[in-house]
């Protein structure tokens, strides 16, 4: 009985039902926007533009790497500056712990480099947020253009016309959409 029951339900699907179900599923651009805002590249995957995902992560990796690089050097410069400052006040206990590449720099130079690395670190955060925003905008625009018709039948032409009864002549602009001609 079970085999007959399951066989009956397997044959009960109608092709008209499947066509209706296919028409109900359509592309929603706001989903691409939300997904791309949550996880970079998810909106591009929703738009079926898989080739953009490595580009998104490549663009986001650049400011992420520069953030890590600048944070590392900012910490080194900050420690070296504080060690030199303590040394100028008579406490040289932190000078041996400094990075060997920074031992020959003066306190003014260390302060200047520290400020530069802090500024560049902050800029890299701003660039990361900007790149994430461009990712969201790209997913949104691509989502809106997903159903945009770009076939070769879209055209227009200038056609001269003459109306002998009204004794007029001129130009007509005719648009051709999918094979149908309108004036």
Answer whether residue 153 is part of any domain: yes
Q: Are residues 174 and 100 in the same domain?
A: no
Q: Are residues 51 and 98 in the same domain?
A: yes
Q: Are residues 76 and 154 in the same domain?
A: no
What is the structure's pLDDT at 3?
45
Q: Are residues 124 and 176 in the same domain?
A: no
Range of the domain at 113: 26-144
Spacing of C-alpha 180 from chain mean position? 38
What is the structure's pLDDT at 149?
66
What is the structure's pLDDT at 178?
62
Answer whether residue 9 is part of any domain: no
Answer whether residue 108 is part of any domain: yes
What is the structure's pLDDT at 26?
80
What is the structure's pLDDT at 8?
46
Q: Are residues 108 and 43 in the same domain?
A: yes
What is the structure's pLDDT at 177?
66
What is the structure's pLDDT at 174?
76
**Mean pLDDT per 10-residue interval, the chain, length 183 residues:** 44 47 69 94 93 96 97 95 91 88 91 96 97 96 82 71 82 68 46
What is the structure's pLDDT at 46?
94
Answer whether residue 174 is part of any domain: yes
What is the structure's pLDDT at 153?
63
């Amino acid at each position: 009985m079970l085999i007959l029951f399951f066989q009956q339900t397997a044959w009960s699907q109608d092709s008209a039902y499947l066509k209706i179900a296919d028409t109900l599923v359509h592309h929603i651009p706001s989903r691409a926007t939300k997904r791309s805002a949550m996880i970079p590249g998810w909106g591009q995957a929703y738009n079926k533009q898989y080739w953009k995902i490595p580009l998104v992560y490549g663009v986001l990796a650049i400011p992420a790497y520069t953030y890590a690089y600048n944070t590392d050097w900012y910490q080194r410069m900050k420690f070296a500056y504080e060690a030199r400052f303590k040394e100028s006040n008579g406490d040289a206990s932190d000078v041996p712990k400094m990075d060997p590449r920074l031992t020959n720099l003066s306190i003014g130079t260390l302060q200047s480099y520290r400020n530069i690395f802090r500024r560049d670190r902050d800029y890299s955060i701003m660039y990361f947020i900007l790149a994430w925003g461009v990712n969201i905008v790209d997913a949104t625009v691509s989502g809106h253009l997903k159903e945009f018709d770009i076939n070769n039948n879209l055209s227009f032409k200038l056609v001269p016309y003459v109306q002998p009864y009204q004794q007029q002549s001129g130009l007509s602009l005719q648009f051709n959409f999918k094979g149908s001609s309108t004036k």
